[in-house]
Structure 1
Amino acid sequence: MGKCKICGKESPLISSFLGLCLECIRNRPEEALPLAKKAHALSRSRFGLVPEVPKGGGVKCKFCGNECEIHEGSKGYCGLVGNEKGKMLRDRELIATYYYDPHPTNCVAEWACPASGIGYPEYSMCKGIEYGYNNLAVFCIGCSFDCLFCQNWHFREDIAVKPKVDDEEFLDAISENTTCICFFGGDPTPQLDKITRICKKAEGKNRVLRFCLETDGNANPKLLGNFAEIGLRSGGNIKFDLKFWNEYLNIAITGVSNKNTYENFRRMERFYKQRKEIPFLTASTLMVPGYTDDKEVKGIASFIASIDEEIPYSLLAFYPHFDMRDLPLTKREDALRFQRIAKEEGLKNVRIGNVHLLA
């Protein structure tokens, strides 16, 4: 049972760690956001991460949309970039781990991907599911957001270790049965330049080798465009996690604005229109009880539909985790209502994911 520090409301749909209700975040941001800022600072301090996106001088990093201004002796928001004596410190190698995920995978975009058989023979090995083949799943350490409900929060511990994968090791990891490589995390955005470099080296290694991203979308627009070009021609896709529609809500729960995310999503329209039959662009939203409501889904769905009504959209059931682990599972009735709302806004390809978690 959480309690809002502003209005005093108590509810199981209020995160006790955040201590803010949806209404106060939306309607009283001048009071809510400073309190949310403190919650994020507390959460990040456990992992030695800077409390907020650094601004106000220092080395400027442009590898993601945060554009941190890193002070001497400190690090950027992602934890991967530092400032030592006025010089930027950043590893050349990709900071990541990887494993083989047999098809069909649990990828959010799986239902609209050549791994399910669409795009044969150019982008797929067979007319149906690519049984016997695998996805090289690359878990990128670091993130440009700080979601309090993070499902993969353990990457924060790995930042201190910084597992490095040099280009040759990565290329050697691509087996003859690998048909796609998906970069997720954490989030790929702070390392998109490295990812694109590696993908260019890997092009043509197998007859079918798709390159995909699962991302919060808070990328450097130019770097995202560079990846989009290689992802498009490989048969891959970019899945945007559109967490919230309201900017105050996004800041309160992820620590960062969502303006750059939505601008980048719209920028991807030109790539999407080049290959609509095998969707290059997909979106998803985690249905967080107490914070994802009808207004949020309506706003997100309307935005997606304004670009193209055929863009696949997944509504994902929530599992209590990390600092918001006291929230309940998503209710089935809410998920079905959100799906109906998304369709009413014009979207034609809407599905509910993680259905086994619905209460």
Structure 2
Amino acid sequence: EGGVGYCGARRLKGGHLRGGTPAGAGLSYYYDPLPTNCVADWFCLEGNSRHLPPDPLQHPGARPDLNLAVFYHACNFNCLYCQNWSFRKATFSGGKVSAASLAQAAHERTACICFFGGDPTPELPHALATSRLVAAGVGRERRPVRICWETNGAMQEAWLKPLAASSLDTGGIIKFDLKAFSKEIHLALTGVCNSQTLKNFAALAARLEERPDLPFLMASTLMVPGYVDLEEIHGLARLIARLNPNIPYSLLAFYPQFYLRDLPVTSRDFAFKARQVALNAGVKRVHLGNVHLLT
């Protein structure tokens, strides 16, 4: 009684689990002008506005130009290198935002919403309720607000269908952070096994052809020196290629954070070797991210 779950968003009260509902979630949100620093910006239509087709339903110059970034103060992983580790100070702050209030933040200039954190997984009931309210509030006078997710992908399988629908129906993208291929390294880095993440990724990959022109699923991997080596990259890339070689894959440069502050930044030599390893494994679209960090 009174115990708190691993993610910090659930509490046992009166013999029942409380928390994780549309009524309220611990979060922060802000607006980013487009194009923004997004792991999918290299192929997303919103990432480069010159690739967007003319919108006959919008007055010239009135196109939505903002991303609503929603940061949840909870996570079901505990990554040693978390770049947003300070969110844990707010996990138990007590301040909550309802799905209805958050949906109202998606005003007429909002082109897309990205749920991240922490991770949206512990608060999926809240995030999906927000998505539905936003969709219901967007009239026919404008196109849908794109719904995107940045997640470790370790949610229960039952959530995959509504998660996929939220992005497929709106032109959004689900961005899976595949942290490591081997269970041992994944466990060492995150405190959690990767079996659920890989299982969910495979399930969503099977639906990629439902929107082949703009993939609704992508993967990214942070190249952590000494942990995520070329063998790890090869394992993940081979998995992706076997599922669907057209899944976009972004390899991200590492910068020392949290408990791994003593590690070096990813080297330029390693990054380009890793990209070639992924291409050789059969992935057709491999991108290097955070290249400004490479040494």
- The TM-score with structure 1 as length reference comes to 0.76
**Partner letter of residue 98 of structure 1?**
Y
State which of 14, 19, 25 in structure 2 corresponds to 1:94: 25
Q: Which residue of 1 aligns with 2:44?
A: 113
Tell me, yes or no, if structure 1 residue 321 matches structure 2 residue 253.
Answer: no
Q: After TM superposition, give the deviation of residue 95 of structure 1 in Å.
A: 2.0
Closer/same/farther in 2, CA of residues 94 and 160 from structure 1, 3 Å limit: closer
Q: How does 1:21-36 map to 2 (within 5 A)?
A: none
Q: Give me the whole-angstrom Cα distance separating, in 1, the residues matched to 2:170 and 2:205.
A: 17
Q: Deviations over 1:260-312 (max 9, x none)?
A: 00000011023321001101000000000111111100000000001111111
Q: Give me the whole-angstrom Cα distance separating, in 1, the residues matched to 2:155 and 2:233.
A: 23
The 10-residue stretch of structure 1 (220-229 or 295-304) with the greater mean CA deviation from structure 2: 220-229
Q: After TM superposition, give the deviation of residue 166 of structure 1 in Å.
A: 1.4
Secondary structure of the structure 2 residue equivalent to 1:187: coil
The ranges of structure 1 where at least 4 consecutive aligned residues each deviate by more than 4 angstroms after the TM superposition are none
Q: Give me the whole-angstrom Cα distance separating, in 2, the residues matched to 1:96 and 1:189.
A: 13
- Judge conservation of contact 1:94–1:195 (CA < 8 Å) in 2: no
- The TM-score with structure 2 as length reference comes to 0.91
**Partner letter of residue 182 of structure 1?**
C
Closer/same/farther in 2, CA of residues 162 and 240 from structure 1, 3 Å limit: farther
Q: How does 1:144-293 map to 2 (within 5 A)?
A: 144-203=76-135, 205=138, 206-293=142-229
Q: Give me the whole-angstrom Cα distance separating, in 2, the residues matched to 1:271 and 1:121.
A: 28
Closer/same/farther in 2, CA of residues 264 and 141 from structure 1, 3 Å limit: same
Q: After TM superposition, give the deviation of residue 175 of structure 1 in Å.
A: 1.9
Q: Deviations over 1:90-129 (max 9, x none)?
A: 153132110001001101011121203557468x989xxx
- Judge conservation of contact 1:142–1:187 (CA < 8 Å) in 2: yes
Q: Give me the whole-angstrom Cα distance separating, in 2, the residues matched to 1:340 and 1:162.
A: 47
Secondary structure of the structure 2 residue equivalent to 1:291: coil
Secondary structure of the structure 1 residue equivalent to 2:212: coil
The 10-residue stretch of structure 1 (97-106 or 263-272) with the greater mean CA deviation from structure 2: 263-272
State which of 248, 272, 289 in structure 2 corresponds to 1:353: 289
Gaps of 5+ in 1: 1-71
Identity rate, percent: 44
Q: Which residue of 2 aligns with 1:140?
A: 72
**Partner letter of residue 110 of structure 1?**
D
Computing the radius of gyration from Cα coordinates, the structure with the larger value is: 1
- Judge conservation of contact 2:223–2:252 (CA < 8 Å) in 1: yes
Q: After TM superposition, give the deviation of residue 141 of structure 1 in Å.
A: 1.1
Q: Deviations over 1:126-159 (max 9, x none)?
A: 9xxx987010000011001100000000111111
- Judge conservation of contact 2:64–2:110 (CA < 8 Å) in 1: no
Q: Which residue of 2 aligns with 1:10?
A: none
Closer/same/farther in 2, CA of residues 111 and 163 from structure 1, 3 Å limit: farther
Closer/same/farther in 2, CA of residues 239 and 121 from structure 1, 3 Å limit: farther
Cα RMSD over matched residues? 2.0
- Judge conservation of contact 1:102–1:132 (CA < 8 Å) in 2: no
Q: After TM superposition, give the deviation of residue 163 of structure 1 in Å.
A: 3.2
- Judge conservation of contact 2:99–2:127 (CA < 8 Å) in 1: no
- Judge conservation of contact 1:94–1:191 (CA < 8 Å) in 2: yes
Q: Give me the whole-angstrom Cα distance separating, in 2, the residues matched to 1:266 and 1:132.
A: 33
- Judge conservation of contact 1:192–1:224 (CA < 8 Å) in 2: no
- Judge conservation of contact 2:206–2:243 (CA < 8 Å) in 1: no
Q: After TM superposition, give the deviation of residue 329 of structure 1 in Å.
A: 0.3
Q: Give me the whole-angstrom Cα distance separating, in 2, the residues matched to 1:270 and 1:324.
A: 35
